Structures are given as structure tokens and as C-alpha cells.
Amino acid sequence: MRQKIVAGNWKMNKTMPEAQALSSEVMGMVSSEVTTNTKVVLCVPFPFLPVIKYLLGKSSVAVGAQNCSEHDWGAYTGEVSALMLKSMDIPYVILGHSERRQYFGEDGKLLVKKIDKALAAALTPIFCCGEPLEVREKGTHDTLVRQQVEEALFHLSAESLKKVVIAYEPVWAIGTGKTATSQQAQEMHAVIRKQLASKYGDTIAQEISILYGGSVNSKNAQELFSCPDVDGGLVGGASLKSREFVDIIKAMK
């Protein structure tokens, strides 16, 4: 049975007091309202990680980082390594988000290094892939997403791949209010799973959690999560509101 996961990506938002308040609200609501075995993860800005980790304590809500360096140590001002995250007992890290690709020039070759560093530090990478609008309109989105997955992940052994979570995020739906239809989401998740099966076999492919990201909200979450190959969500803006985020989590059956 694949792990069901709902992860909130706060991006560069909130002050420390706001982050503490939001985390406390989510933790309390999850504890009292969520009855499924869905894994909940809050991916928060770097400065908040130790405080939010401590605040969440032994609750069922986990914390994750939004990126890590391809280096272990060194003269890389402003960077944070996977080993640093491991030393704080941070279990998850988002890698390859479309904003990192777009604004910081991250490509498949760089993401191979980051994936390897995260796995070597016993972190669970949430690897993002997805197409921009112009690629979707050309009808070549399948090809691009398969290429992104192959470039970043196909060097891994089957055992290592099973430690990765994949998030499909159509770039044209991130922060735009536009959401892929449940049919579009299912089609692309199935494409990714079929590609994994072509390399690692169907048994391994069926063990990998694939999340949907792109303007997920409490109104569309249940329909998206009902798709057979959608195993949860990577939630952006909606994760900044505790009530909305927990309602999304509760949509997971």
C-alpha cells in the first residue's frame, strides 16, 4: 500500500511568530480531526526548521525543507546541505520545484547530485516535475515530464528509488488558480508510473507515492485524491491557512 501524503510548501512566507501559530493550529486540527493514516508534512523556510521541529514534537505532523545543496560542506555562502538537515533530524526535502528550475536554473544534472546527497543523508526527497503552459499547449508534456523523471532519478537503484516521493506539478497551475482536471492529473500520474515501471518493473512502480501539486484547495482535493494514481498533494498557497490545509488533508480517504 502506497503512503498517502499531503505536504504543505510554504515557500518564502510567514514570520517566525506566524509560522509557530500556523504550525500549532495545523497540529491541533490534525490531532483532533484527521483519522486516516495520511502523512502530513510542513515544508517551511530554512530559518524556521528547528523551531517548528521542536514545536511539532512527537506529533504525527512532520517537517521538511524546501531545498538543499548539492554539496556537503564548503565555501557556498547561503547554502544549506543535506547533512545539516540530517543533523536537525529533518526527514523530508523538496527538490526540483519548478520555481527552483525557473528562477535558479536548476536542471536534471544538478538534481541528480541533490537527490544523491539527500538520500545519502537519509532524507526523503520530494522530487518535483511538471510542464509549463507552452509545452502543454504543444502536446509534448508527456515527453518533457518523462525526461525530467529519467534525468533525475533513473541512475538510482530500485531500493533507492523506493525512498523517493514524486510530485507532479503542472507549472501552468501553480499559483494561478488554474488546476489540472482530475482526468489530466490521473493521465500524467499514470504516465509517470508507467515510465517507472519500464525501468524498475511494475512492482516497484506501484510502491512509489506520486503527489499532485498545482492550486490544490479544499474544493478540488477530494476529486483529485480519488484518482487511482494520485497519492496525495503538494500544496502551496492553501497550506498557509490552517483550516483550508486541514480540510485538504481530510479529503484524503
pLDDT of residue 83: 98
pLDDT digits (tens, 9 = 90+) for 19-78: 999 999 999 999 999 999 999 999 999 999 999 999 999 999 999 999 999 999 999 999
168 in Cβ contact with 192 (< 8 Å): yes
CATH number of the structural domain spanning residue 52: 3.20.20.70
The pTM score is: 0.96
Which position has the grid cell 506529533?
59
- By DSSP bridging, strand 124-129 and strand 210-212 are unpaired
pLDDT digits (tens, 9 = 90+) for 74-85: 999 999 999 999
- With a pLDDT cut of 70, the percent of the chain lying above it is 100
Residues tagged active-site: 97, 169
Predicted confidence (pLDDT) at residue 179 exceeds the cutoff of 90: no
pLDDT digits (tens, 9 = 90+) for 181-231: 999 999 999 999 999 999 999 999 999 999 999 889 999 999 999 999 999
Query: Residue 137: pLDDT band by 50, 70, 90 thresholds?
Result: confident
Q: Quote the domain boundaries for residue 151.
A: 5-250
Element of type H or E holding 183: helix 182-200
Helix/strand/coil for 13: coil
What is the tally of structural domains in the chain? 1
CA angle 190, 191, 192 (to 5 degrees): 90
